[in-house]
Amino acid sequence: MAFGLLLAQLAFAQDLATRLADPEMRYAAVKSIVDSGGKDLALLLSWTEVPPSGVNLFQLNLGLIEAFRRLRAKEAIPFLIRHMADDISGINNGNIWMKADSVVETRLPAIDALIAVGPEASKALIAAPWDKMRLDEQIAALFIVSRIADPAARDFLMSFHVLDAREARYVREGLQRIQEHR
C-alpha cells in the first residue's frame, strides 16, 4: 500500500513538473497550484535546488517563477533573486533596461514575482551581497526595491550611489512611492 502511494506521488510530481515546463500547459498547472492553496509549495521549492529530470530547466524555472509570483511565496525569495535578471527571450543583454518598465517586468518575470512578494523581497535584496552581483543584477535589484517601496528601504535608496540617469530615476521613483504610502 505504501509503495503504491509513493508511486502515485512520484507520478504526480513528474506530471506537475512536465506541465510547468510546457508553455502550453503552464497556465493550467499554475492555476491548480494556486487553487490548492499552495499545498505543493515544498515540492516546488525542492525543484529550485534539485530539478526533476526529463524537463526543460529554463521552461520549468519560468513555471516555478509564475507559481511563486501567484502564491507570493516568501520562501522562494532566494530562487527568485538568483533568476531576477533572466530574460524570457533567452537573450540577456543590457538593452532590456532601455525598455519601458512594463516590458522589463514582462521579460524578466522573477522581477515581477519579487515585487509581488513585497517587503520581504526588498529586505532580502538590500541585505544581498551587492559586490558579488553582476551589473544587470544590481540594476534589477534596484528596480525591484524601488517598485516595492517598503518604508524600510528609504535609507538604502537615500544612500544608493547612483551611476547613471536610469538608476537616479529608480531611486527617485522609489522614494516618491515611499512618501506616497505614508
- How many helical (H) and strand (E) elements, i.e. helices and strands, does the chain have? 11, 0
pLDDT tens digit sequence for 75-109:
999 999 999 998 887 666 557 878 888 888 889 99
Contact 124, 156 (CB under 8 A): no
Query: What residues have CB less than 8 Å from 179, skipping those under 6 apart?
Result: none
Rounded Cα distance between 20 and 29, Å, is 6
pLDDT tens digit sequence for 132-171:
998 889 999 999 999 998 999 999 988 887 778 888 888 8
